[in-house]
């Protein structure tokens, strides 16, 4: 039997049983409002539901019954014993039909026209002894009795005589049955004009008819009683709160069991061992049993979908085949509630935006009917739901364009992004609301909301899309929210739980570990298998004790956590066990703290907070977004704050350093293969060609055997190696040149790790290695032109720096950024040479004009062409800028113009 019908029967049987007792009250006092309302409600529900289920016979009966009841409820008519009888009869009929359906699965055949006619009559107030004119009844003055006889109330063609016939028939039947009412006769004393006397002619026929109609369900009753009892026994309705409470208690029990097990573990001789094992087994079974009571087929959340798809199909003219597989897969009621809406949204999205219209599909060589497929299945404690469509897929090019338009990434970055990464952007908040993208590429409305909802219950959403072939979304959600596995970690002497589902891996960053926490722009990162992983230190995040230090040099662990498509590391002090925890919501006053998804009581009774990976992830967004830009800065070894420096010695014992970013490789050349030249240098084979190996100073102690360690530098097409004595270390330092150097090849001296270190100038050695070669080379000028020009970009807006730097980079410039003129001057003092300066005008402290003035007459940067970029391009600003020596004055958004201006003034510079 259809599940829906089974449920309907169980429900209706239940309400009819309730009515049984209520009806007695109703009979005793038909004017009692509450009872009447209850009966009306039941009747109304039956009518509505069976119309939906296609049970037309039942519907007609219930409808007629409802019509009568509504009049009573609205006090248009007053119930009389006769009408009560008819209502009861109507309910009996309903019960009879239900019983039949329960046993056979389909509606029994039968004729209800007599009953319906009687009900109609009752509704029209024309029932014998039914209508209200009893002097006391308030309805006496109501129009019902007067209009009733002539008009066809309720659209039923009731002629006066027919009515009379029916009433007579009813009276006759009552007599024939002779049970419910003693006799209708006493009542008619006050009855309205329509007379009983008119009845006799029809009485004979009518008297025979009702019993047959009545008999059918009646006779069926005894036989079907068993079936009804079964329907009632198969399911009982239990208040959700009761189940919820039971679930909580069982959860507590599981925890206590775990605690006991832990206590007994390791004591082989314990007398508790065996009973405890039994208890443990029973507890597990009980837990499963209780869980089952909360389980519901996922199909319950799918019920609305066919209708929605149908409507959508009609509205859009698309032909859609909605396939649903695995509707019987069960999951927790609570989870089901959470996913119903996101699911609806995604299916609608797939059908609405994913699928093409029939013409477009045919043109693309696809079948006319588009398929939206919904699939659910279990997989390792999770339920997986897939929503697949064979539509047009995501329009990757359009999304790329949109990403750039929205300033989320630069053109260069976007071009290098693999498709799946591009697709991830549709899950972004700002992105999804964009009207255009939904029209063009199909997806995006509220996908961020969908994701947020699913993540809220510890689920994940993933998707892949192939343009022209369709999109597949995969939702992974836990079976239940009540108990989750969690990793217990410690930070600043406090313990926290991190849901296991979000934890990808654990990395130790302690002493002796391969992994080190590095600092990029003051933000900690972890280099993990070649990728930079943004980190968030839990002690700092939650402002726990000892939060002052960044924790780079402490023993610790990184919990690699995934929240949606964001992967980041949480730095913790220690890691305990994994534990099954019962998630309890946090108190309302703590809801404003974004870092907790709940709290729980551990086996030992302590209360701990459960971290919400999504809340924590929001704290690292900034860092994650900056990492790419920082890595670019890394390349030039000129990061704003800390720099990775390679420390080495060149024989004289003093430490030398070079930014690690400049070193393309650490190499050891076999001495035997080194070809020494007269000027103290050498040539070595490197990747199939000869490169110069330069030594620092004439006294450099070349190795006599084995390998000669060297640092390989590459600048555009040129590669050279710098021979070193020994590579000492790699350190992260706040690079600050203390003393400028006059020595060749040395940029300056800095204090690094407490020692005085010379910072070498790689460009000097590059010149040394290639200078001679170029001097007479006609190609040299060309080559110099092509040589990467170094720009200094000064802008106080990090956004613009991040936007413009990669852009200029792609255009072939090496870009050094500074967040203000002061910083730029520091770079100058540190010995930085640049070919051009691009600066913002409006900046706090020192503005662009001030900066230009400061550079006027400067021996090093005084002649460097300067270009102003600003949002204020009005003539007077322009003139002031030009008078201060700016080569050009360009709007901030005019990138092409900027490139043109740069090329212009750089060529000038070369020629002059």
Partner 1 sequence: MTSLPAVSGQSASGLPVLGPGAEKFLTFRVGGQLFGIPALAIQDIIGPQPIAKIPMAPSFVAGALNLRGRIVTAIDMHNALGLKPTDQAKKLNVVVRSGLELYDLLVDDVGDVLSFSMGDLEPNPVSWPEAWRTFSAGIFKLDGELLVVLNFDVLLSTHTKLIDKAA
Identify the CA nearest to 496 among candidates 555, 551, 549, 537: 537
Candidates 317, 365, 588, 688; binder of partner 1 (CB under 8 A) is 588
CB of 248 to partner 1, least distance (A): 8
- Does position 263 bind partner 1 by CB under 8 A? no
Q: Which stretch binds partner 1 (CB under 8 A): 20-28, 596-604, 810-818, 860-868?
A: 596-604
- Does position 544 bind partner 1 by CB under 8 A? yes
CB of 912 to partner 1, least distance (A): 59
Q: Which stretch binds partner 1 (CB under 8 A): 193-201, 294-302, 536-544, 814-822?
A: 536-544
CB contact at 8 A, 750 and 738: yes
Is 603 or 881 the residue whose CB approaches partner 1 more closely?
A: 603
**How many beta carbons lie within 10 A of that of residue 826, not counting itself?**
14
Q: Which of residues 472-531 bind partner 1 (CB under 8 A)?
A: 492, 494
Is 417 or 617 the residue whose CB approaches partner 1 more closely?
A: 617
Give the burial string for 111-139 (b: 16+ CB within 10 Å, else e): ebebbbbbbbbbbbbbbbbbbbbeeebeb
Tokens representing 804 are 């413009």
CB of 261 to partner 1, least distance (A): 18
CB of 559 to partner 1, least distance (A): 17
Tokens representing 216 are 């059918």
The 3 state secondary structure assigned to 337-366 is HHHHHHHHHHHHHHHHHHCCCHHHHHHCCC
CB of 542 to partner 1, least distance (A): 4
Q: Which stretch binds partner 1 (CB under 8 A): 215-223, 385-393, 603-611, 622-630?
A: 603-611
- Does position 135 bind partner 1 by CB under 8 A? no
CB contact at 8 A, 333 and 294: yes
Q: Which stretch binds partner 1 (CB under 8 A): 190-198, 481-489, 554-562, 601-609?
A: 601-609
- Does position 609 bind partner 1 by CB under 8 A? yes
Residues 834, 840, 842, 844, CA torsion sign: negative
Candidates 179, 237, 511, 543; binder of partner 1 (CB under 8 A) is 543
Q: Which helix (H) or strand (E) holds 318?
A: none
> For the chain, how long is the longest CA-to-CA vector?
141
- Does position 260 bind partner 1 by CB under 8 A? no
**Segment 625-632 long-range contacts (CB within 8 Å, at least 24 positions apart):** 625/802, 626/520, 626/521, 626/523, 626/798, 626/802, 627/520, 627/525, 627/532, 627/534, 628/413, 628/806, 629/801, 629/802, 629/805, 629/806, 630/520, 630/521, 631/520, 631/532, 632/805, 632/806, 632/809, 632/815
Q: Which stretch binds partner 1 (CB under 8 A): 268-276, 290-298, 305-313, 583-591?
A: 583-591
Identify the CA nearest to 449 among candidates 474, 473, 428, 471: 428
Tokens representing 153 are 């109330």
Q: Which stretch binds partner 1 (CB under 8 A): 343-351, 584-592, 693-701, 832-840?
A: 584-592
Q: In 545-679, where does DSSP find H-type helix?
A: 613-635
- Does position 593 bind partner 1 by CB under 8 A? yes
Q: Which of residues 140-179 bind partner 1 (CB under 8 A)?
A: none
Bridge-based pairing state of the strands 470-478 and 382-389: antiparallel
Candidates 179, 268, 548, 592; binder of partner 1 (CB under 8 A) is 592
Candidates 6, 261, 369, 601; binder of partner 1 (CB under 8 A) is 601
CB of 536 to partner 1, least distance (A): 13
Give the burial string for 703-731 (b: 16+ CB within 10 Å, else e): eeeeebbbbbbbbeebbbbbbbbebbebb
Residues paired with residue 484 on neighbouring β-strands, in sequence order: 581
Q: Which helix (H) or strand (E) holds 552?
A: none
Tokens representing 861 are 């940067």
Is 596 or 861 the residue whose CB approaches partner 1 more closely?
A: 596
Using a 10 angstrom Cβ sphere, with 0-12 exposed, 13-18 middle and 19 or more buried, the burial of residue 242 is: exposed
CB of 595 to partner 1, least distance (A): 6
Candidates 516, 584, 790, 872; binder of partner 1 (CB under 8 A) is 584
Is 592 or 717 the residue whose CB approaches partner 1 more closely?
A: 592
Residues paired with residue 731 on neighbouring β-strands, in sequence order: 645
Cα–Cα distances in angstroms (integers) from residue 707 to residues 8, 316, 801, in the given order:
86, 74, 43
CB of 587 to partner 1, least distance (A): 4
Q: Which stretch binds partner 1 (CB under 8 A): 346-354, 585-593, 626-634, 879-887?
A: 585-593
Q: Which stretch binds partner 1 (CB under 8 A): 232-240, 335-343, 580-588, 845-853?
A: 580-588
- Does position 241 bind partner 1 by CB under 8 A? no
Residues 587, 588, 590, 596, CA torsion sign: positive
Overall residue count recorded for the chain in this entry = 912
Candidates 97, 394, 414, 608; binder of partner 1 (CB under 8 A) is 608
Is 253 or 666 the residue whose CB approaches partner 1 more closely?
A: 253
CB of 80 to partner 1, least distance (A): 45
CB of 541 to partner 1, least distance (A): 8
- Does position 236 bind partner 1 by CB under 8 A? no
Candidates 15, 191, 599, 623; binder of partner 1 (CB under 8 A) is 599
CB of 551 to partner 1, least distance (A): 16
Q: Which of residues 46-85 bind partner 1 (CB under 8 A)?
A: none
Calculate the dihedral angle through the C-alpha atoms of 170, 171, 177, 179, rounding to the nearest 10 degrees: 120
Candidates 26, 431, 463, 595; binder of partner 1 (CB under 8 A) is 595
- Does position 606 bind partner 1 by CB under 8 A? yes
CB of 784 to partner 1, least distance (A): 57
Distance CA 258, CA 226 (A): 46
Is 252 or 577 the residue whose CB approaches partner 1 more closely?
A: 252
Candidates 135, 236, 587, 672; binder of partner 1 (CB under 8 A) is 587
Distance CA 519, CA 735 (A): 13
Is 297 or 492 the residue whose CB approaches partner 1 more closely?
A: 492
Candidates 589, 672, 778, 874; binder of partner 1 (CB under 8 A) is 589
**How many beta carbons lie within 10 A of that of residue 78, not counting itself?**
22
Tokens representing 221 are 């009753």
- Does position 727 bind partner 1 by CB under 8 A? no
CB of 481 to partner 1, least distance (A): 16
**# residues contacting partner 1 (CB under 8 A):** 24
Site string for partner 1, 346-385 (x = CB under 8 A): ----------------------------------------
CB of 824 to partner 1, least distance (A): 37
CB of 496 to partner 1, least distance (A): 9
Q: Which stretch binds partner 1 (CB under 8 A): 74-82, 539-547, 716-724, 742-750?
A: 539-547
Give the burial string for 197-210 (b: 16+ CB within 10 Å, else e): eebeebbeebbebb
Binding site for partner 1 (CB under 8 A): 248, 252, 492, 494, 542-544, 584, 587-590, 592-593, 595-596, 599-601, 605-609
């Amino acid at each position: 039997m259809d599940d829906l019908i089974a449920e309907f029967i169980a429900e209706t049987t239940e309400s009819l049983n309730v009515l049984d007792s209520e009806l007695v009250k109703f009979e005793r006092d038909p004017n009692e409002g509450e009872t009447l309302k209850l009966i009306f409600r039941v009747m109304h529900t039956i009518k509505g539901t069976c119309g939906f289920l296609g049970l037309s016979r039942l519907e007609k009966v219930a409808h007629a019954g409802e019509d009568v009841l509504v009049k009573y409820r609205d006090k248009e008519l007053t119930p009389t014993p006769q009408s009560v009888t008819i209502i009861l009869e109507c309910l009996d009929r309903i019960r009879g039909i239900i019983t039949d359906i329960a046993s056979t699965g389909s509606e029994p055949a039968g004729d209800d026209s007599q009953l319906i006619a009687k009900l109609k009559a009752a509704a029209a107030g024309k029932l014998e002894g039914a209508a209200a004119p009893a002097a006391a009844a308030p309805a006496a003055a109501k129009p019902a009795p007067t209009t009733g006889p002539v008009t066809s109330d309720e659209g039923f063609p009731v002629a006066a005589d027919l009515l009379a016939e029916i009433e007579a028939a009813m009276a006759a039947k009552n007599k024939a049955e002779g049970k419910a009412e003693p006799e209708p006769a006493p009542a008619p004393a006050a009855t309205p004009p329509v007379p009983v006397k008119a009845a006799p002619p029809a009485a004979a026929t009518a008297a025979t008819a009702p019993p047959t109609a009545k008999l059918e369900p009646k006779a069926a009753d005894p036989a079907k009683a068993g079936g009804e009892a079964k329907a009632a026994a198969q399911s009982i309705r239990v208040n959700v709160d009761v189940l919820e409470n039971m679930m909580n208690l069982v959860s507590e029990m599981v925890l206590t069991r775990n605690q006991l097990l832990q206590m007994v573990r390791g004591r082989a001789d314990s007398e508790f061992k065996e009973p405890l094992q039994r208890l443990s087994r029973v507890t597990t079974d009980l837990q499963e049993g209780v869980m089952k009571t909360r389980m519901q087929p996922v199909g319950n959340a799918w019920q609305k979908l066919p209708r929605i798809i149908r409507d959508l199909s009609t509205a859009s003219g698309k032909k859609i085949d909605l396939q649903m597989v695995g509707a019987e897969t069960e999951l927790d009621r609570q989870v089901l509630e959470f996913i119903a809406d996101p699911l609806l949204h995604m299916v609608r999205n797939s059908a609405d935006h994913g699928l093409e219209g029939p013409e477009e599909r045919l043109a693309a060589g696809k079948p006319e009917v588009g398929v939206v497929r919904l699939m659910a299945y279990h997989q390792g404690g999770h339920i997986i739901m897939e929503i697949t469509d064979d539509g047009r897929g995501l329009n990757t090019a359009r999304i790329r364009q949109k990403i750039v338009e929205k300033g989320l990434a630069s053109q260069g970055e976007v071009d290098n992004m693999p498709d799946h990464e591009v697709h991830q952007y549709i899950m972004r908040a700002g992105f999804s609301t964009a009207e255009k993208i939904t029209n063009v590429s199909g997806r995006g409305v509220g996908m961020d909301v969908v994701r947020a909802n699913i993540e809220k219950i510890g689920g994940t959403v993933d998707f892949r899309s192939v343009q022209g072939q369709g999109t597949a979304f995969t939702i992974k959600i836990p079976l239940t929210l009540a108990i989750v596995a969690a990793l217990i970690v410690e930070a600043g002497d406090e313990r926290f739980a991190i849901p296991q589902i979000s934890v990808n891996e654990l990395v130790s960053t302690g002493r002796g570990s391969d992994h080190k926490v590095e600092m990029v722009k003051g933000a900690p990162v972890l280099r993990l298998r070649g990728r930079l992983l943004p980190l968030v230190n839990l002690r700092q995040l939650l402002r726990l004790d000892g939060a002052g230090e960044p924790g780079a040099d402490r023993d610790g662990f990184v919990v690699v956590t995934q929240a949606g498509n964001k992967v980041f590391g949480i730095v913790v002090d220690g890691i305990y066990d994994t534990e099954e925890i019962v998630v309890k919501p946090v108190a309302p006053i703590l809801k404003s703290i974004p870092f907790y998804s709940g709290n729980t009581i551990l086996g030992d009774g302590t209360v701990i907070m459960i971290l919400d990976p999504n809340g924590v992830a929001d704290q690292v967004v900034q860092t994650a977004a900056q990492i790419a830009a920082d890595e670019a800065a890394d390349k030039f070894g000129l990061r704003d704050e800390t720099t990775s420096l390679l420390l080495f010695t060149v024989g004289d014992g003093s430490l030398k350093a070079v930014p690690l970013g400049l070193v393309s490789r650490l190499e050891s050349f076999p001495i035997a293969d080194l070809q020494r030249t007269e000027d103290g240098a050498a040539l070595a084979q490197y990747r199939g060609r000869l490169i110069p190996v330069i030594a620092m100073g004439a006294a450099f102690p070349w190795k006599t055997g084995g390998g000669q360690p060297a640092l390989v530098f590459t600048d555009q097409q040129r590669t050279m190696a710098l021979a070193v004595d020994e590579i000492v270390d790699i350190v992260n330092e706040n690079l600050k040149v203390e003393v400028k150097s006059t020595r060749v090849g040395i940029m300056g001296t800095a204090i690094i790790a407490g020692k005085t270190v010379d910072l070498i100038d790689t460009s000097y050695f590059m010149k040394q290695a290639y200078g001679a070669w170029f001097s007479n080379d006609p190609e040299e000028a060309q080559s110099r032109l092509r040589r990467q020009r170094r720009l200094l970009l000064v802008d106080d807006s990090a956004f613009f720096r991040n936007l413009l730097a990669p852009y200029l980079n792609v255009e072939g410039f090496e870009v050094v950024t500074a967040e203000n003129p002061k910083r730029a001057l520091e770079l100058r003092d540190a010995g930085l040479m640049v070919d051009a300066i691009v600066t913002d005008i409006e900046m706090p402290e020192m503005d662009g004009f001030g900066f230009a003035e400061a550079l006027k007459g400067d021996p090093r940067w005084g002649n460097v062409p300067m270009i102003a970029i600003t949002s204020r391009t009005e003539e007077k600003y322009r003139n002031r800028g030009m008078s201060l020596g700016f080569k050009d004055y360009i709007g901030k958004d005019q990138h092409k113009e900027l490139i043109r201006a740069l090329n212009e003034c750089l060529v000038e510079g070369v020629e002059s």
